[in-house]
Chains A and B, each alone.
Chain A
Amino acid sequence: MKLTDLFEQGKFVVTSEVAPPKGTDLEEMHENAELLRSRVDAINITDQQSSVMRLGSLVASQQLKDRGIEPIFQATCRDRNRIALQSDLLSAWAAGIENVLCLTGDHVSLGDTPGAKPVFDLDSVSLLAAARKLNQGVDMEENELLGKTNFALGAVVTPDADPVEPQLIKMGRKVDAGAAFFQTQAVFDAETFAAFMERARSFGVPVLAGIILLKSAGMARFMNANIAGVNVPQALIDEMAATAKGDRRAKSVEIAARIVRDVKEVCQGVHIMPLGWEKQVPAVLDAAGI
Protein backbone atom coordinates (compact mmCIF):
# COMPACT_ATOMS: atom_id res chain seq x y z
CA MET A 1 0.00 0.00 0.00
CA LYS A 2 1.33 3.38 -1.00
CA LEU A 3 1.23 6.12 1.60
CA THR A 4 0.06 8.52 -1.09
CA ASP A 5 -3.17 6.48 -1.50
CA LEU A 6 -3.99 7.10 2.18
CA PHE A 7 -3.46 10.85 1.82
CA GLU A 8 -5.74 10.84 -1.21
CA GLN A 9 -8.43 9.18 0.91
CA GLY A 10 -8.07 12.07 3.35
CA LYS A 11 -6.75 9.84 6.11
CA PHE A 12 -4.69 11.30 8.97
CA VAL A 13 -1.63 9.12 8.48
CA VAL A 14 0.44 7.73 11.36
CA THR A 15 3.91 6.33 10.82
CA SER A 16 6.63 5.26 13.19
CA GLU A 17 10.04 3.70 12.85
CA VAL A 18 12.23 0.77 13.81
CA ALA A 19 15.97 0.28 13.44
CA PRO A 20 17.62 -2.90 12.15
CA PRO A 21 20.10 -4.45 14.58
CA LYS A 22 23.85 -4.17 14.64
CA GLY A 23 24.20 -7.84 13.88
CA THR A 24 21.92 -10.49 12.48
CA ASP A 25 19.43 -11.01 15.30
CA LEU A 26 16.22 -9.35 14.08
CA GLU A 27 14.04 -10.48 16.98
CA GLU A 28 13.97 -7.19 18.88
CA MET A 29 13.24 -5.19 15.71
CA HIS A 30 10.28 -7.47 14.96
CA GLU A 31 9.05 -7.18 18.56
CA ASN A 32 9.13 -3.39 18.30
CA ALA A 33 7.32 -3.50 14.96
CA GLU A 34 4.63 -5.76 16.48
CA LEU A 35 4.06 -3.21 19.27
CA LEU A 36 3.34 -0.60 16.61
CA ARG A 37 1.57 -2.74 14.00
CA SER A 38 -2.06 -2.19 14.95
CA ARG A 39 -1.73 1.57 15.42
CA VAL A 40 0.31 2.83 12.51
CA ASP A 41 -0.14 2.89 8.75
CA ALA A 42 3.49 2.22 7.96
CA ILE A 43 6.86 1.88 9.63
CA ASN A 44 10.14 3.46 8.53
CA ILE A 45 13.18 1.21 8.55
CA THR A 46 16.21 3.37 9.16
CA ASP A 47 19.27 3.12 6.93
CA GLN A 48 22.19 2.77 9.34
CA GLN A 49 21.11 5.88 11.20
CA SER A 50 23.75 8.17 12.65
CA SER A 51 26.21 6.42 10.30
CA VAL A 52 26.44 3.38 12.58
CA MET A 53 27.07 0.21 10.53
CA ARG A 54 24.08 -2.12 10.85
CA LEU A 55 21.99 -4.67 9.02
CA GLY A 56 20.55 -3.05 5.89
CA SER A 57 17.17 -1.41 5.59
CA LEU A 58 16.27 -3.24 2.37
CA VAL A 59 16.13 -6.76 3.81
CA ALA A 60 14.60 -5.49 7.07
CA SER A 61 11.89 -3.71 5.04
CA GLN A 62 11.21 -6.87 3.08
CA GLN A 63 10.83 -8.89 6.29
CA LEU A 64 8.24 -6.44 7.66
CA LYS A 65 6.38 -6.54 4.35
CA ASP A 66 6.36 -10.33 4.47
CA ARG A 67 4.78 -10.12 7.93
CA GLY A 68 2.04 -7.82 6.69
CA ILE A 69 3.47 -4.55 8.01
CA GLU A 70 3.81 -1.72 5.51
CA PRO A 71 7.45 -0.63 5.34
CA ILE A 72 8.89 2.74 4.38
CA PHE A 73 12.33 1.88 3.05
CA GLN A 74 14.81 4.58 4.05
CA ALA A 75 17.59 5.07 1.52
CA THR A 76 20.50 7.44 2.13
CA CYS A 77 23.20 8.63 -0.28
CA ARG A 78 25.99 8.16 2.25
CA ASP A 79 27.14 4.66 1.33
CA ARG A 80 26.15 3.95 -2.27
CA ASN A 81 26.76 5.57 -5.61
CA ARG A 82 23.99 6.09 -8.13
CA ILE A 83 24.41 2.64 -9.66
CA ALA A 84 23.95 0.88 -6.30
CA LEU A 85 21.11 3.18 -5.21
CA GLN A 86 19.11 2.67 -8.40
CA SER A 87 19.78 -1.06 -8.22
CA ASP A 88 18.59 -1.23 -4.59
CA LEU A 89 15.44 0.65 -5.51
CA LEU A 90 14.70 -1.91 -8.24
CA SER A 91 15.37 -4.69 -5.73
CA ALA A 92 13.07 -3.01 -3.21
CA TRP A 93 10.23 -2.89 -5.71
CA ALA A 94 10.80 -6.56 -6.56
CA ALA A 95 10.58 -7.29 -2.82
CA GLY A 96 7.14 -5.69 -2.65
CA ILE A 97 8.22 -2.39 -1.05
CA GLU A 98 6.08 0.55 -2.17
CA ASN A 99 7.25 3.47 -0.02
CA VAL A 100 10.73 4.98 -0.07
CA LEU A 101 12.11 7.81 2.03
CA CYS A 102 14.97 9.49 0.18
CA LEU A 103 17.61 11.07 2.41
CA THR A 104 21.08 12.53 2.03
CA GLY A 105 22.22 10.75 5.18
CA ASP A 106 24.49 11.72 8.06
CA HIS A 107 28.18 12.23 7.47
CA VAL A 108 30.28 9.12 8.23
CA SER A 109 32.33 11.07 10.76
CA LEU A 110 29.36 11.04 13.17
CA GLY A 111 29.15 7.26 13.37
CA ASP A 112 31.16 4.23 14.45
CA THR A 113 33.17 3.95 11.23
CA PRO A 114 34.60 7.44 10.74
CA GLY A 115 37.30 6.29 8.29
CA ALA A 116 34.76 5.15 5.69
CA LYS A 117 34.51 6.97 2.36
CA PRO A 118 31.55 9.36 2.45
CA VAL A 119 29.96 8.66 -0.94
CA PHE A 120 27.28 11.33 -1.53
CA ASP A 121 27.43 10.71 -5.27
CA LEU A 122 23.77 11.76 -5.26
CA ASP A 123 21.94 13.79 -2.62
CA SER A 124 18.36 13.71 -1.39
CA VAL A 125 17.15 15.81 -4.34
CA SER A 126 18.92 13.91 -7.10
CA LEU A 127 17.98 10.57 -5.46
CA LEU A 128 14.32 11.61 -5.59
CA ALA A 129 14.76 12.56 -9.25
CA ALA A 130 16.40 9.20 -9.96
CA ALA A 131 13.62 7.28 -8.18
CA ARG A 132 10.99 9.20 -10.11
CA LYS A 133 12.70 8.17 -13.33
CA LEU A 134 12.54 4.51 -12.23
CA ASN A 135 8.80 5.08 -11.65
CA GLN A 136 8.61 6.31 -15.24
CA GLY A 137 10.37 3.23 -16.58
CA VAL A 138 13.84 4.64 -17.26
CA ASP A 139 17.06 4.98 -15.30
CA MET A 140 19.02 8.19 -14.67
CA GLU A 141 20.65 7.87 -18.08
CA GLU A 142 17.25 7.45 -19.75
CA ASN A 143 17.91 3.78 -20.50
CA GLU A 144 14.68 1.84 -20.65
CA LEU A 145 13.84 -0.62 -17.86
CA LEU A 146 12.34 -4.06 -18.21
CA GLY A 147 9.55 -3.46 -15.73
CA LYS A 148 9.28 -0.22 -13.76
CA THR A 149 8.71 0.77 -10.14
CA ASN A 150 5.73 2.65 -8.75
CA PHE A 151 6.97 4.03 -5.43
CA ALA A 152 5.41 6.64 -3.20
CA LEU A 153 8.44 8.88 -2.70
CA GLY A 154 9.00 10.63 0.59
CA ALA A 155 11.51 13.15 1.89
CA VAL A 156 12.34 14.98 5.10
CA VAL A 157 12.38 18.61 6.20
CA THR A 158 13.35 20.46 9.38
CA PRO A 159 10.58 22.90 10.37
CA ASP A 160 12.45 24.34 13.36
CA ALA A 161 15.68 25.20 11.53
CA ASP A 162 17.10 28.66 12.06
CA PRO A 163 16.92 30.19 9.52
CA VAL A 164 14.06 28.14 8.06
CA GLU A 165 14.24 29.74 4.59
CA PRO A 166 16.97 27.42 3.21
CA GLN A 167 14.90 24.43 4.42
CA LEU A 168 11.83 25.72 2.59
CA ILE A 169 13.85 26.32 -0.57
CA LYS A 170 15.22 22.79 -0.43
CA MET A 171 11.74 21.41 0.31
CA GLY A 172 10.59 23.05 -2.91
CA ARG A 173 13.45 21.44 -4.81
CA LYS A 174 12.48 18.05 -3.37
CA VAL A 175 8.87 18.54 -4.45
CA ASP A 176 10.08 19.49 -7.92
CA ALA A 177 12.20 16.32 -7.98
CA GLY A 178 9.27 14.07 -7.07
CA ALA A 179 8.70 14.07 -3.29
CA ALA A 180 5.05 13.14 -2.66
CA PHE A 181 5.09 13.29 1.15
CA PHE A 182 7.31 14.67 3.91
CA GLN A 183 8.22 13.51 7.39
CA THR A 184 9.72 16.21 9.60
CA GLN A 185 12.46 16.48 12.19
CA ALA A 186 11.04 16.44 15.73
CA VAL A 187 8.45 19.10 16.51
CA PHE A 188 8.15 20.37 20.09
CA ASP A 189 6.70 23.82 19.54
CA ALA A 190 3.30 23.71 17.85
CA GLU A 191 3.32 27.44 17.10
CA THR A 192 6.65 27.33 15.25
CA PHE A 193 5.39 24.30 13.35
CA ALA A 194 2.14 26.03 12.41
CA ALA A 195 4.12 29.01 11.11
CA PHE A 196 6.25 26.61 9.05
CA MET A 197 3.17 24.85 7.67
CA GLU A 198 1.68 28.21 6.74
CA ARG A 199 4.57 28.58 4.27
CA ALA A 200 4.99 24.89 3.35
CA ARG A 201 1.32 24.51 2.44
CA SER A 202 1.88 26.16 -0.94
CA PHE A 203 3.85 23.08 -2.07
CA GLY A 204 0.62 21.07 -1.87
CA VAL A 205 2.37 17.98 -0.49
CA PRO A 206 1.26 16.12 2.68
CA VAL A 207 3.45 16.60 5.77
CA LEU A 208 3.77 14.26 8.75
CA ALA A 209 4.94 16.08 11.89
CA GLY A 210 7.82 14.32 13.63
CA ILE A 211 7.14 13.41 17.25
CA ILE A 212 9.91 12.24 19.61
CA LEU A 213 9.03 10.77 23.01
CA LEU A 214 10.94 12.83 25.58
CA LYS A 215 12.44 10.48 28.14
CA SER A 216 13.97 13.00 30.54
CA ALA A 217 15.03 16.61 30.95
CA GLY A 218 18.59 15.48 30.32
CA MET A 219 17.63 13.98 26.96
CA ALA A 220 15.92 17.24 26.00
CA ARG A 221 18.99 19.29 26.93
CA PHE A 222 21.23 16.86 25.03
CA MET A 223 19.11 17.16 21.88
CA ASN A 224 19.05 20.96 22.13
CA ALA A 225 22.82 21.06 22.35
CA ASN A 226 23.65 18.38 19.79
CA ILE A 227 20.85 17.68 17.31
CA ALA A 228 20.44 20.12 14.45
CA GLY A 229 16.93 21.49 14.07
CA VAL A 230 15.65 20.17 17.41
CA ASN A 231 14.57 22.79 19.93
CA VAL A 232 12.79 21.61 23.07
CA PRO A 233 11.23 24.65 24.77
CA GLN A 234 12.42 25.35 28.32
CA ALA A 235 8.86 24.90 29.64
CA LEU A 236 8.86 21.27 28.48
CA ILE A 237 12.30 20.66 29.98
CA ASP A 238 11.07 22.10 33.30
CA GLU A 239 7.97 19.92 33.10
CA MET A 240 10.09 16.78 32.65
CA ALA A 241 12.56 17.86 35.34
CA ALA A 242 9.73 18.32 37.85
CA THR A 243 8.47 14.79 37.21
CA ALA A 244 9.48 11.94 39.55
CA LYS A 245 11.44 9.20 37.80
CA GLY A 246 8.63 6.65 38.15
CA ASP A 247 6.14 8.99 36.47
CA ARG A 248 8.32 9.93 33.51
CA ARG A 249 6.77 7.53 31.01
CA ALA A 250 3.30 8.84 31.78
CA LYS A 251 4.53 12.43 31.51
CA SER A 252 6.31 11.65 28.24
CA VAL A 253 3.10 10.20 26.81
CA GLU A 254 1.14 13.24 28.01
CA ILE A 255 3.56 15.68 26.39
CA ALA A 256 3.75 13.79 23.08
CA ALA A 257 -0.05 13.48 22.94
CA ARG A 258 -0.40 17.20 23.63
CA ILE A 259 1.94 18.04 20.74
CA VAL A 260 0.05 15.68 18.41
CA ARG A 261 -3.25 17.33 19.38
CA ASP A 262 -1.77 20.81 18.87
CA VAL A 263 -0.39 20.09 15.39
CA LYS A 264 -2.94 17.71 13.91
CA GLU A 265 -5.15 20.43 12.46
CA VAL A 266 -2.32 21.92 10.39
CA CYS A 267 -0.71 18.75 8.98
CA GLN A 268 -1.70 15.49 7.32
CA GLY A 269 -0.24 13.03 9.80
CA VAL A 270 2.41 12.31 12.41
CA HIS A 271 5.62 10.33 12.37
CA ILE A 272 6.42 9.02 15.84
CA MET A 273 10.03 8.26 16.74
CA PRO A 274 9.80 6.17 19.93
CA LEU A 275 13.57 5.63 20.39
CA GLY A 276 13.04 2.49 22.46
CA TRP A 277 9.69 3.45 23.97
CA GLU A 278 7.60 1.64 21.34
CA LYS A 279 5.28 0.35 24.11
CA GLN A 280 4.18 3.91 24.84
CA VAL A 281 3.12 4.73 21.27
CA PRO A 282 -0.46 3.35 21.51
CA ALA A 283 -1.03 5.39 24.68
CA VAL A 284 0.19 8.55 22.91
CA LEU A 285 -2.25 7.98 20.05
CA ASP A 286 -5.11 7.16 22.47
CA ALA A 287 -4.48 10.33 24.49
CA ALA A 288 -4.30 12.37 21.29
CA GLY A 289 -7.60 10.96 20.11
CA ILE A 290 -6.19 9.23 17.03
Chain B
Amino acid sequence: MLVTKRKAIEEIVRFTNGETAVFLLGCDGCAAASGTGGEADILELEKELTRSGLEVTGSKVVDFLCQKALIRKGLRPFSAALAEADSIVVSTCGIGIQATATVAKLPVHPACDTVSLGGIRGEWQGEERCAECGQCFLEYTGGVCPLTACAKQLVNGPCGGAKDGRCEVEPDVRRCAWQVIYDRLDRQGRLDLLRTAPLQVKDHAKMRPPEELRGTRRWAIDLATNGEVAR
Protein backbone atom coordinates (compact mmCIF):
# COMPACT_ATOMS: atom_id res chain seq x y z
CA MET B 1 0.00 0.00 0.00
CA LEU B 2 1.13 3.53 -0.76
CA VAL B 3 0.64 5.65 2.31
CA THR B 4 -0.23 9.25 1.56
CA LYS B 5 -0.66 12.38 3.61
CA ARG B 6 -2.91 15.26 2.53
CA LYS B 7 -1.09 18.50 1.91
CA ALA B 8 -2.31 21.62 3.71
CA ILE B 9 -5.11 23.34 1.78
CA GLU B 10 -3.00 26.52 1.58
CA GLU B 11 -0.30 24.69 -0.37
CA ILE B 12 -2.81 23.14 -2.79
CA VAL B 13 -4.46 26.51 -3.36
CA ARG B 14 -1.04 28.08 -3.96
CA PHE B 15 -0.44 25.48 -6.72
CA THR B 16 -3.57 26.64 -8.54
CA ASN B 17 -2.00 30.09 -8.80
CA GLY B 18 -4.41 32.24 -10.83
CA GLU B 19 -6.72 29.40 -11.85
CA THR B 20 -10.43 29.67 -11.07
CA ALA B 21 -11.86 26.18 -11.59
CA VAL B 22 -10.55 22.70 -10.85
CA PHE B 23 -11.66 19.09 -11.25
CA LEU B 24 -11.05 16.74 -8.30
CA LEU B 25 -9.78 13.23 -8.60
CA GLY B 26 -9.53 10.70 -5.77
CA CYS B 27 -8.57 7.04 -5.56
CA ASP B 28 -10.49 4.31 -3.80
CA GLY B 29 -7.40 2.20 -3.23
CA CYS B 30 -4.50 2.99 -0.92
CA ALA B 31 -5.41 6.67 -0.83
CA ALA B 32 -8.86 5.85 0.58
CA ALA B 33 -7.20 3.71 3.24
CA SER B 34 -4.83 6.59 4.04
CA GLY B 35 -7.76 8.95 4.45
CA THR B 36 -6.77 11.13 1.49
CA GLY B 37 -8.49 9.91 -1.68
CA GLY B 38 -11.78 8.21 -0.69
CA GLU B 39 -15.29 9.60 -1.29
CA ALA B 40 -15.43 11.34 2.10
CA ASP B 41 -11.91 12.75 1.70
CA ILE B 42 -12.71 14.18 -1.73
CA LEU B 43 -15.93 15.71 -0.41
CA GLU B 44 -13.93 17.37 2.38
CA LEU B 45 -11.26 18.59 -0.09
CA GLU B 46 -14.02 19.99 -2.32
CA LYS B 47 -15.42 21.94 0.63
CA GLU B 48 -12.02 23.34 1.55
CA LEU B 49 -11.25 24.36 -2.04
CA THR B 50 -14.66 25.98 -2.46
CA ARG B 51 -14.15 27.87 0.80
CA SER B 52 -10.83 29.10 -0.62
CA GLY B 53 -12.69 30.62 -3.57
CA LEU B 54 -12.08 27.95 -6.21
CA GLU B 55 -14.88 26.51 -8.29
CA VAL B 56 -14.94 22.72 -8.34
CA THR B 57 -16.42 21.70 -11.70
CA GLY B 58 -16.71 18.03 -10.78
CA SER B 59 -15.08 15.17 -8.97
CA LYS B 60 -14.54 11.45 -9.33
CA VAL B 61 -13.09 8.72 -7.17
CA VAL B 62 -11.49 6.06 -9.35
CA ASP B 63 -10.27 2.68 -8.30
CA PHE B 64 -7.43 2.71 -8.99
CA LEU B 65 -5.52 5.80 -10.17
CA CYS B 66 -2.34 3.82 -10.70
CA GLN B 67 -4.06 2.24 -13.73
CA LYS B 68 -4.11 4.58 -16.69
CA ALA B 69 -6.86 2.59 -18.44
CA LEU B 70 -9.08 3.02 -15.38
CA ILE B 71 -8.37 6.76 -15.24
CA ARG B 72 -9.39 7.13 -18.89
CA LYS B 73 -12.56 5.11 -18.28
CA GLY B 74 -13.33 6.94 -15.04
CA LEU B 75 -12.98 10.39 -16.61
CA ARG B 76 -14.94 9.61 -19.79
CA PRO B 77 -18.36 10.72 -18.39
CA PHE B 78 -16.88 14.00 -17.14
CA SER B 79 -15.77 15.66 -20.38
CA ALA B 80 -18.03 18.69 -19.75
CA ALA B 81 -16.76 19.23 -16.20
CA LEU B 82 -13.17 18.78 -17.37
CA ALA B 83 -13.65 21.26 -20.19
CA GLU B 84 -14.66 23.90 -17.64
CA ALA B 85 -11.67 23.20 -15.37
CA ASP B 86 -8.25 24.83 -15.54
CA SER B 87 -6.55 21.87 -13.91
CA ILE B 88 -7.06 18.61 -12.03
CA VAL B 89 -6.30 18.35 -8.32
CA VAL B 90 -5.35 14.73 -7.64
CA SER B 91 -5.54 13.42 -4.10
CA THR B 92 -3.55 10.20 -4.15
CA CYS B 93 -0.04 8.73 -4.27
CA GLY B 94 2.81 9.83 -6.54
CA ILE B 95 2.07 7.08 -9.01
CA GLY B 96 -1.60 8.04 -9.36
CA ILE B 97 -0.64 11.70 -9.81
CA GLN B 98 1.91 10.84 -12.48
CA ALA B 99 -0.46 8.43 -14.24
CA THR B 100 -3.14 11.15 -14.31
CA ALA B 101 -0.63 13.71 -15.61
CA THR B 102 0.30 11.28 -18.38
CA VAL B 103 -3.33 10.62 -19.37
CA ALA B 104 -4.94 14.04 -18.89
CA LYS B 105 -4.46 17.04 -21.14
CA LEU B 106 -4.98 19.45 -18.22
CA PRO B 107 -2.20 20.37 -15.78
CA VAL B 108 -2.24 18.29 -12.63
CA HIS B 109 -1.71 19.48 -9.04
CA PRO B 110 -0.77 17.01 -6.30
CA ALA B 111 -2.89 17.18 -3.15
CA CYS B 112 -0.78 14.64 -1.25
CA ASP B 113 2.74 13.70 -0.25
CA THR B 114 3.56 10.01 -0.50
CA VAL B 115 5.47 8.80 2.52
CA SER B 116 5.70 5.05 2.32
CA LEU B 117 4.87 1.92 0.41
CA GLY B 118 3.86 0.40 3.73
CA GLY B 119 5.12 -2.97 2.64
CA ILE B 120 2.89 -3.60 -0.36
CA ARG B 121 3.18 -2.07 -3.80
CA GLY B 122 0.32 -0.35 -5.48
CA GLU B 123 -1.17 -1.84 -8.62
CA TRP B 124 0.41 -0.39 -11.70
CA GLN B 125 1.61 -1.46 -15.09
CA GLY B 126 2.98 1.79 -16.42
CA GLU B 127 6.38 3.40 -16.14
CA GLU B 128 5.45 5.82 -13.37
CA ARG B 129 7.38 5.27 -10.16
CA CYS B 130 7.05 6.92 -6.75
CA ALA B 131 10.00 7.37 -4.39
CA GLU B 132 7.79 7.91 -1.33
CA CYS B 133 9.77 11.06 -0.62
CA GLY B 134 7.11 12.74 1.53
CA GLN B 135 7.57 16.08 -0.28
CA CYS B 136 5.88 15.58 -3.64
CA PHE B 137 7.70 17.52 -6.40
CA LEU B 138 5.12 16.73 -9.11
CA GLU B 139 3.57 20.20 -8.94
CA TYR B 140 6.72 21.74 -10.38
CA THR B 141 7.52 19.07 -12.94
CA GLY B 142 4.39 18.65 -15.00
CA GLY B 143 3.54 15.46 -13.14
CA VAL B 144 6.82 13.68 -13.98
CA CYS B 145 8.70 12.50 -10.88
CA PRO B 146 12.28 13.84 -10.97
CA LEU B 147 13.35 11.44 -8.22
CA THR B 148 12.46 8.29 -10.13
CA ALA B 149 12.70 9.44 -13.75
CA CYS B 150 16.06 11.28 -13.49
CA ALA B 151 19.15 9.13 -12.97
CA LYS B 152 20.63 11.79 -10.72
CA GLN B 153 17.35 12.59 -8.93
CA LEU B 154 17.80 16.24 -9.86
CA VAL B 155 15.05 18.53 -8.59
CA ASN B 156 16.18 21.92 -9.93
CA GLY B 157 16.50 21.24 -13.66
CA PRO B 158 18.52 19.15 -16.10
CA CYS B 159 22.23 18.37 -15.88
CA GLY B 160 24.41 18.82 -18.93
CA GLY B 161 24.63 15.11 -19.62
CA ALA B 162 21.64 14.49 -21.87
CA LYS B 163 22.26 14.02 -25.57
CA ASP B 164 19.44 14.22 -28.15
CA GLY B 165 16.98 14.13 -25.25
CA ARG B 166 18.34 10.82 -23.95
CA CYS B 167 19.85 10.26 -20.49
CA GLU B 168 23.61 9.75 -20.37
CA VAL B 169 23.22 6.78 -18.04
CA GLU B 170 21.05 4.52 -20.18
CA PRO B 171 20.51 6.36 -23.46
CA ASP B 172 18.94 3.33 -25.13
CA VAL B 173 16.11 2.95 -22.63
CA ARG B 174 15.88 6.25 -20.79
CA ARG B 175 14.73 9.66 -21.97
CA CYS B 176 16.10 12.64 -20.08
CA ALA B 177 13.44 13.20 -17.41
CA TRP B 178 13.93 16.95 -17.60
CA GLN B 179 13.42 16.85 -21.36
CA VAL B 180 10.10 15.06 -20.75
CA ILE B 181 9.23 17.66 -18.11
CA TYR B 182 10.24 20.49 -20.43
CA ASP B 183 8.24 19.09 -23.36
CA ARG B 184 5.09 18.56 -21.29
CA LEU B 185 5.17 22.02 -19.68
CA ASP B 186 5.94 23.54 -23.09
CA ARG B 187 2.85 21.80 -24.55
CA GLN B 188 0.76 23.21 -21.68
CA GLY B 189 2.24 26.69 -22.08
CA ARG B 190 3.60 26.48 -18.52
CA LEU B 191 7.38 26.77 -19.03
CA ASP B 192 7.44 29.73 -16.68
CA LEU B 193 6.94 27.23 -13.86
CA LEU B 194 10.55 26.09 -14.39
CA ARG B 195 11.81 29.64 -13.88
CA THR B 196 9.61 30.56 -10.95
CA ALA B 197 9.63 27.31 -8.95
CA PRO B 198 11.20 27.80 -5.50
CA LEU B 199 14.68 26.37 -4.90
CA GLN B 200 14.07 22.69 -4.25
CA VAL B 201 16.06 20.89 -1.57
CA LYS B 202 15.32 17.27 -0.75
CA ASP B 203 14.38 16.67 2.87
CA HIS B 204 15.22 13.05 3.56
CA ALA B 205 13.68 13.31 7.02
CA LYS B 206 10.26 13.54 5.34
CA MET B 207 10.63 9.99 4.05
CA ARG B 208 9.78 8.66 7.51
CA PRO B 209 6.03 7.97 7.78
CA PRO B 210 4.52 10.26 10.44
CA GLU B 211 3.32 8.66 13.66
CA GLU B 212 -0.32 9.55 13.05
CA LEU B 213 -0.36 7.60 9.80
CA ARG B 214 0.63 4.43 11.56
CA GLY B 215 -2.98 4.16 12.68
CA THR B 216 -4.35 3.70 9.15
CA ARG B 217 -6.40 0.64 8.22
CA ARG B 218 -3.63 -1.26 6.50
CA TRP B 219 -1.17 -0.65 9.30
CA ALA B 220 -3.75 -1.67 11.88
CA ILE B 221 -4.33 -5.00 10.14
CA ASP B 222 -0.62 -5.56 9.90
CA LEU B 223 -0.01 -4.74 13.53
CA ALA B 224 -2.95 -6.90 14.65
CA THR B 225 -1.47 -9.79 12.69
CA ASN B 226 1.71 -9.27 14.67
CA GLY B 227 -0.26 -9.34 17.91
CA GLU B 228 0.27 -5.63 18.48
CA VAL B 229 -2.28 -2.86 18.85
CA ALA B 230 -2.39 0.16 16.59
CA ARG B 231 -2.00 3.46 18.35
Determine whether B182 belongs to the interface, using a CB cutoff of 8 Å to chain A. Answer: yes
**Minimum CB–CB distance for A52 against chain B, Å:** 15
Name the A residues within 8 Å of B199 (CB-CB).
125-126, 129, 173, 176-177
Name the B residues within 8 Å of A123 (CB-CB).
152, 154-157, 159
Q: Which of B146-168 contact A (CB under 8 A)?
A: 151-164, 168
Pair B156/A170 contact, Cβ less than 8 Å: yes
Determine whether A93 belongs to the interface, using a CB cutoff of 8 Å to chain B. Answer: no
Name the B residues within 8 Å of A104 (CB-CB).
152, 154, 159-160
Pair B168/A228 contact, Cβ less than 8 Å: yes
Pair A118/B151 contact, Cβ less than 8 Å: yes
Determine whether A12 belongs to the interface, using a CB cutoff of 8 Å to chain B. Answer: no
Name the B residues within 8 Å of A260 (CB-CB).
none
Q: A126-B201, A156-B160 are in contact. Are A107 and B152 (CB under 8 A)?
A: yes
Determine whether B207 belongs to the interface, using a CB cutoff of 8 Å to chain A. Answer: no
Name the A residues within 8 Å of B201 (CB-CB).
122, 126, 129, 140
Say which one of A2-10, A158-166, A211-219, A282-290 lies at the interface with B. Answer: A158-166
Determine whether B50 belongs to the interface, using a CB cutoff of 8 Å to chain A. Answer: no
Pair A120/B168 contact, Cβ less than 8 Å: no
> How long is the Cα–Cα vector from A122 to B155 in the complex, in angstroms?
9
Selected from A107, A165, A185, the residue in CB contact (under 8 A) with B169 is: A107
> How long is the Cα–Cα vector from A122 to B179 in the complex, in angstroms?
20
Q: From B200, which residue of chain A is reached at the shortest CB distance?
A: A126
Q: Which of B167-213 contact A (CB under 8 A)?
A: 168-169, 178-179, 182, 191, 194-195, 199-202, 204
Pair A228/B179 contact, Cβ less than 8 Å: no
Pair A121/B202 contact, Cβ less than 8 Å: yes
Chain A 106-121 interface 0/1 with B at a Cβ cutoff of 8 Å (1 = within): 1101100000001011
Q: Which of A149-187 contact B (CB under 8 A)?
A: 156-158, 161-163, 165-167, 169-170, 172-173, 176-177, 185
> How long is the Cα–Cα vector from A140 to B203 in the complex, in angstroms?
12
Pair B195/A118 contact, Cβ less than 8 Å: no
Chain B 41-76 interface 0/1 with A at a Cβ cutoff of 8 Å (1 = within): 000000000000000000000000000000000000
Name the B residues within 8 Å of A156 (CB-CB).
160
Name the B residues within 8 Å of A140 (CB-CB).
201
> How long is the Cα–Cα vector from A173 to B178 in the complex, in angstroms?
15
Considering the complex of A and B, which 5 residue pairs feature the smallest CB-CB distances, nearest first? A125-B156, A170-B157, A228-B163, A158-B160, A120-B152
Sample of 28 A–B contacts (CB below 8 Å): A104-B152, A104-B154, A104-B159, A106-B161, A107-B151, A107-B169, A110-B169, A120-B153, A122-B201, A123-B152, A123-B157, A123-B159, A125-B156, A126-B155, A129-B201, A156-B160, A157-B160, A161-B160, A163-B182, A166-B157, A167-B160, A169-B191, A170-B156, A170-B157, A185-B160, A227-B163, A228-B160, A228-B161
A contact residues vs B (CB 8 Å cutoff): 104, 106-107, 109-110, 118, 120-126, 129, 140, 156-158, 161-163, 165-167, 169-170, 172-173, 176-177, 185, 226-229
